[in-house]
Amino acid sequence: MSDIFREVEEDVRREKLQKFWKAYGDYVIALAAVIIIGIAGFELWQRYEARQRDQASVAFAAAQRISDPKSAAVAFADLAKTAPKGYRLLARLEQAHAMLAAGQRDAAIALYKEISDEDKGSTGSVARLREAWALADTASRADLENLLAPLRNPSSSWKQLADEVLAYSDYRNAQTAKATTEFDALANDANSPAQLRTRARAMAAFLKQGGAKDFGIVPPPAPVPAPGTVAAPPAAGAPAKP
């Protein structure tokens, strides 16, 4: 008896499956096709992105080897037009560096600002810091503080590097005592990168030894006598030339 009931159950299931397949079989096939195409498309896209990254990496390295800053800036600008996002940001950052080296200061500063506005990660932070250094000789301390404010959070890994710009600004503005204190603090800050501590220690020592004072000006060289003439003797009290 159990075999009969089992055969009946199998027949019922088979009949239900046939009805279901007739009603929805086309949809099942279409769904399976979409899944397969989607997987294949995803794999193709991954291969395409990998190829794009490889090409961008080669072009980026080639642009870095260009010694002329103007030509390098053009190469990085061209790369930024087609490279994936990560390389695009790096290429624009390198473009700004090259422009600054080529004397295109205003354009470089504008590009640094664009990058820092677009990216809130490491690339944008580097751009903001580079912009501050480009402005350090001319901008006021207040303007530099506003520019560097996003990097000066106590928990920020960029804080000490930003503070170095401000210490340099104080030095440039003849705030010698303040600058010395700031460089000393950076030199003794365990969170300062090793190279920054070395720079800060050297700068603090330079200021403590009177490096910021004006020791006078170098006198202009003595006029060179015309050929065949005898140089005039030095004025009274002036040291004779060897």
**Residuewise pLDDT in 10s, the chain (242 residues):** 555 545 545 655 666 666 666 666 666 666 666 666 666 665 655 564 566 666 666 777 777 788 899 999 999 899 888 887 778 888 899 999 999 999 999 999 999 999 999 998 999 999 999 999 999 999 999 999 999 999 999 999 999 999 999 999 999 999 999 999 999 999 999 999 999 999 999 999 999 988 766 544 445 555 555 555 555 554 444 444 44
Residue 103, by phi and psi: left (phi above 0), alpha (psi -120 to 50) or beta?
left
Residues 69 and 108: their CA atoms lie apart, in Å, by 12
Which pTM does this prediction carry?
0.66
In sequence order, which residues have a C-beta less than 8 Å from that of residue 188 and are 6 or more positions away? Answer: 197
Domain 1-135 matching CATH 2.50.20: the answer reads no
| Segment (H or E) for 112 | helix 105-118
Rounded Cα distance, 80 and 95, in Å: 9
Instruction: Yes or no: say if 108 and 116 are a contact pair by the CB < 8 Å rule.
Output: no
Is residue 134 within 8 Å of 100, Cβ to Cβ?
Answer: yes
d(CA 199, CA 201): 6
Kindly state the tokens that stand for 237: 């009290």
Assigned token pair, 80: 């930024």
CA-nearest of 163, 228, 223 to 197 is: 163
Give residues with Cβ within 8 angstroms of 28, minimum separation 6: 21
